[in-house]
Amino acid sequence: MNGAAAMEKTVKLSIRNLYKIFGPDPRRALEQVRAGVDKPELWEKYRHVLGLQDINVDMKNGEITVIMGLSGSGKSTLIRHVNRLIEPTVGEIVLDGENIIEFGEARLRELRRKEMSMVFQHFALLPHKTVLDNAGTARSVRGEDRSSYEKDARGWLERVGLGGQEGQYPHQLSGGMQQRVGIARALTSNAPIMLMDEAFSALDPLIRTDMQDLLLELQTELTKTIVFISHDLDEALKLADHLVILKDGMVVQQGEPQEILLNPNDPYIVDFISDINRARVLRVRSVMDTGLDAAPAVAGTVDADATLESVIALSGGDTALSYAVKRNGTHVGYLDMKKLVRALVPTAAARDGMRNAKRRSPG
């Protein structure tokens, strides 16, 4: 879940040189794109929509990869390439060393049944089936008997907080509860990869926070490979082990969220992160000193994964203090409060209107 451990994880799923162009003759338009034509020009001159352009993303086993972007940035298109609900114009999707773009129909179906599950923005439950049957959808599609999946389905429904509601129909549940069914459905399938397409975007803010907590809690025990689509930066920062920021079908920046927050490489991202509460998102590990020769006088100990906000609360706002940083009991560095405050200074700002420019010409 953190930087050091991630290094050891293997790449489970990898998207390579992926292009998607919508239009009558995408192959020819692709040549134009490779020759340097950009999205607006491709539309003006050739009447093709550039959906995705040269996407390269590695998703590691057991990590949550969040793909973030505004509407129209191509994030939903991208996630649909992973299970080939949309076919790429060109490119590879490599799962455990195999390019799934080359899979035939039968193998693709097998892949969708066993390797991947998906959670949808508007839940996409079957309205004529009970909650229990919905949760068991993936398994019954594989041809399993009800008896073989019922226990699992009940277990997962219980786990997502829907114990006792198995006999109800989706329309009898609230939005948040319906999405819990959606998650239980994905979990019951036992697939190692979970695709979540704006899974929490249709929910109220409070319920959304609940669901995010639920997902993180489940993830600590399941360690599935999760691809999560979001347009909400707070959500993305909260969930992501690996954050990919998309703009106009291109990856603008990707990496550890803390890293992106501290070193944004694009005005678009600077603009994005200017609104967020940095103290709540940044963690001690991102701003601590690891290579100090002499140990300063410390006022106490903090955890490496603690948020800066919690450290500020701990210090009572006193910038003269320093703290020792520990992870799982071992000492990993020191945190100087002055450095902490410096990290809270917004990156050279974006108030002057990147976003306003964007509003004028939405991407």
Residues near another protein, by CB under 8 A: 80, 83, 85, 109-114, 116-118, 120-122, 124-128, 137-138, 141-142, 169-171, 174-175, 178, 189, 195, 202
Minimum CB distance to another protein, residue 298 (Å): 50
Question: Of the two residues 39 and 75, which places its CB atom closer to another protein in the complex?
Answer: 75
Minimum CB distance to another protein, residue 110 (Å): 7
The whole-angstrom separation of Cα 127 and Cα 63 is 32
Question: Of the two residues 191 and 261, which places its CB atom closer to another protein in the complex?
Answer: 191
Question: Of the two residues 27 and 171, which places its CB atom closer to another protein in the complex?
Answer: 171
The whole-angstrom separation of Cα 72 and Cα 323 is 44
The whole-angstrom separation of Cα 320 and Cα 338 is 7
Residue with tokens 């790429």: 88
Question: Of the two residues 124 and 314, which places its CB atom closer to another protein in the complex?
Answer: 124
Minimum CB distance to another protein, residue 118 (Å): 4
Minimum CB distance to another protein, residue 253 (Å): 28
Minimum CB distance to another protein, residue 202 (Å): 5
Reading the block at residue 345, the tokens are 């200074």
Q: How far apart are the first and last CA of the chain?
A: 33
List, in order, residues 6 or more apart from 279 with CB less than 8 Å away.
307, 308, 309, 312, 344
The whole-angstrom separation of Cα 52 and Cα 33 is 11
| CB-based burial, 296-314: b 16+ in 10 Å, e otherwise | eeebeebbbebbbeebbeb
Question: Of the two residues 111 and 261, which places its CB atom closer to another protein in the complex?
Answer: 111
In order of 118, 245, 358, the CA distances from 66 in angstroms are 14, 8, 22
Question: Which of 183, 267, 281 lies closest to 233 in space, CA to CA?
Answer: 281
The whole-angstrom separation of Cα 307 and Cα 278 is 9
Question: Of the two residues 2 and 165, which places its CB atom closer to another protein in the complex?
Answer: 165
Question: Of the two residues 113 and 326, which places its CB atom closer to another protein in the complex?
Answer: 113
Minimum CB distance to another protein, residue 185 (Å): 8
Minimum CB distance to another protein, residue 141 (Å): 5
